[in-house]
Amino acid sequence: MRALLVTALIGGTLMADPAVAENATMINIVGAPTGEAPPGFAFGRTGQGEPGEWRVVADPTPAGGKATAQTSKDKTDHRFPLAVYQPVSTKNVEVTLRFRPVAGTIDQAGGIAVRLATPDDYYVVRANALEDNINFYRVVKGRRSQIKGFNAKVASGQWHTLGLRAEGDTFTVSFDGKPVFTAEDKTFAEAGKVALWTKADSVTHFDTIAIAPLP
């Protein structure tokens, strides 16, 4: 039996979050074995260095007692591990999740990638606990360019909520339940995958992931 449950408004702590869209697909790993890769994902990497190590880990802080984590501590700076969710490919989408920066000396970052065509081509919003900012980028042929950013306290070791709404050329970013900025870009206009994202030696836990396609 598949351990991953992907359901619409069934189970998980996202049901209590009013920010989650009613039609959201929710990723629930409570039944997945710890130490194994989270089912439903494929894995890639932008840049150099070792591949990411994506595992289901025990974590007493979320409601289900488990989290999806990137655990590799490779310090290569231009290294962006990706966990790409396979069942969904969409252009217009709203993604929300909780993430917890756990460790990292180069970076402590967690992010959401959308419209991912390849591991080198996508949009990503990420929050970084060492820099205390939330930045939105385009990644084209492996090169990352910042579109917009916002300074905010991103506490290490604590859970935060990150959201990205992609609708046409408009992208709205939220952090800890509040909209922080809107940006416009026309680089990627086609449907693509949604992915979890980290940087360099970031050890980051992810929880309560919701993916809601938009009309």
pLDDT (tens digit, 9 = 90+) per residue, 13-39? Answer: 333 344 556 788 999 898 999 999 999
DSSP designation for 77 = S
**Cβ count within 10 A of residue 129:** 25
Say yes or no to pLDDT of 96 above 50: yes
Q: What is the pLDDT of residue 6?
A: 34
Give the number of domains in the chain: 1
Distance of CA 8 to the CA centre of its chain: 19
Q: What is the mean pLDDT of the chain?
A: 91
Q: What is the CATH number of the domain that holds 62?
A: 2.60.120.560
Section 103-118 average pLDDT: 98
Q: Which domain holds residue 117?
A: 5-213
pTM of the model: 0.90
H/E stretch holding 18 reads: none
Q: What is the pLDDT of residue 4?
A: 33
Q: Are 69 and 42 in contact (CB under 8 A)?
A: no
